[in-house]
Amino acid sequence: MKQRAQFTTKIGILAATVGSAVGLGNIWRFPYEAGSNGGAAFIFIYIISVCVIGIPVICCEFIMGRGTHKNVHGAFNALHASSLWKYASYLNILASLMILSFYSVVAGWTLNYLSEAVTGKMTMTGEHDFSAEFGNFVASPWQPTVFTIIFLMFNHVIVARGIKKGIERISNTVMPILGVILIVLMANSLLLPKATEGLRFLFYPDFTKITPSVVLSALGQAFFSLSLGLSCLLTYSSYFNDRTPLVKNATMIATLDTIVAIISGIIIFCALFSFDGEPAAGPKLVFEILPGIFNSMPGGYFWAVLFFLLLVFASITSSISMTEISVAYFSEEYNISRKTSTRISTAIGMIFGALCSLSFGILNDFTIFGMSLFSLFDYISSNILLPLGGLIFTIFVGWIINKRFVQEQLTNNGQIARKSSKIIIFLIKYIAPIAIVVVCLSVLRVI
């Protein structure tokens, strides 16, 4: 039998998993969610969600992936063959392709904005109406769709090259650059005239702003940002070796991902307050408000190029991780080559990505349950399939599979102290599933 691929170094493992977590979720979604949900109060709840739900769910995925060295379907089968559990894997694969489709649309927008920043169009002097420009761009029949497809082509080339030469190599190259860009942009924002107002908004919580809907948004954001509930980290961890410390890695991913989200918040809000932008602008924050700020900021050309480069880099290391879920499934379960399975996933991504992209323009009137295809994919996957996937992982690992197996995975067969694993198991069994059920029911508006 062909030997299964593995990541080659500790740094490679960290770069790939943090690369999966750090993406549009941190730089595009987190600031607008925080902005619309009261700033610091939202961040406070977000951090609690990451600790009590995020880290335990990452550990569940790691236990299943590293413990079996299989794709999600194979992992469910290997751990509990004669049951309905394997259908949970279909849910994961379906959701991963849905997320890949709409994620590539937003990633395509960032490619377009990067090209506008590089060519100087964004920071050109003269009258600009960035809201109208964004509206016209997303509604145009071909431009955003072409960028979606170009993005998926980059994505394809990396994934098709495999774990070592594709995913690990690109993550090792891009993640350090991403770190440097983040720090440079943060320093620039902190030096802006009203930076302290931005910091106040981010770090001075007004607890009266915490409402059930703020809690829900924070939980949903934690799932999205940490790449949870889709078996993304399960699939990556199936390429870990048996010495990789699971709890330590889970904690590191969660910590680094949260730090990046907060740095993005600093970059955006210090600039926003200094140039009188509206923090509660929603999803268009990065695409309509920021270009205006770069346009009026000294050295705007440089900062705009850096910022959109950051977005493109962050999205590619995330999209490859979504693609790997179905690629691993197709190639291992149907015994086809990696190249062919990547082609299948890319083709599905391109077809549905193009449809999602067109749903802002010519397919605008085509709605399902009153939502455009883009919103529907976003809604079903982020609000329903991710938390449901997370719930299934915690119940499966906490209650169904062999307890000794869970212990052995968390402690690497007794080589790592048991204390942290005890806390994690408690969170997996009780706290995380209960909290997720509350989220699911509230999303479905049952409670």
Q: Contact residues for ligand TRP (CB under 6 A)? A: 20-21, 23-26, 99, 224-225, 227, 230, 232, 318, 321-322, 386
Nearer to ligand TRP, 318 or 421 (CB): 318
Nearer residue to ligand TRP within complex by CB, 300 or 389: 389
Q: How far is the CB of 100 from ligand TRP (least distance, A)?
A: 9
Q: Position of tokens 């994690």?
A: 424
Nearer to ligand TRP, 104 or 244 (CB): 104
How far is the C-alpha of 372 from the C-alpha of 436, rounded, in Å? 27
Identify which of residues 14 and 192 has a Cβ nearer to ligand TRP in the complex: 14
For residues 339-367, one letter each, b for 16 or more C-beta atoms within 10 angstroms of the residue's C-beta and e for the rest, the string is eebbbbbbebbbebbbbbbbbbbebeeee
Least distance (Å) from ligand TRP to the CB of residue 275?
A: 26
CB of 313 vs ligand TRP, minimal distance in Å: 12
In whole angstroms, the minimum distance from the beta carbon of 8 to ligand TRP comes to: 22
Q: What residue type is 54 in one-letter code?
A: G
Cβ of residue 92: shortest distance to ligand TRP, in angstroms?
9
Residue whose CB is less far from ligand TRP, 158 or 230: 230
In angstroms, the CA 147 to CA 356 distance is: 13
Q: Are 103 and 322 in contact (CB under 8 A)?
A: yes
CB of 27 to ligand TRP, least distance (A): 8
Cα 339 to the chain's mean position, in Å? 24
Q: How far is the CB of 345 from ligand TRP (least distance, A)?
A: 13
Closest to ligand TRP by CB, 297 vs 322, is 322
Phi, psi of 338 (to 5 degrees): -60, -40
Number of helices (H) and strands (E) in the chain: give both, helices first.
22, 0
CA 153/CA 131 separation, integer angstroms: 28
- Ramachandran category for residue 303: left, alpha or beta (phi over 0 → left; psi -120 to 50 → alpha): alpha
Whether 159 contacts 166, CB under 8 Å? yes
**Nearest residue (CB) to ligand TRP, 274 versus 318:** 318
- 29 touches 225 (CB < 8 A): yes
Nearer to ligand TRP, 158 or 425 (CB): 158
- CB of residue 156 vs ligand TRP: minimum separation in angstroms? 16
Q: 287-292 contacts: CB < 8 A, separation 24 or more?
A: 287/109, 287/113, 287/130, 287/134, 288/130, 288/131, 288/134, 289/130, 291/113, 291/116, 291/122, 291/128, 291/130, 291/133, 292/128, 292/130
Distance CA 228, CA 397 (A): 15
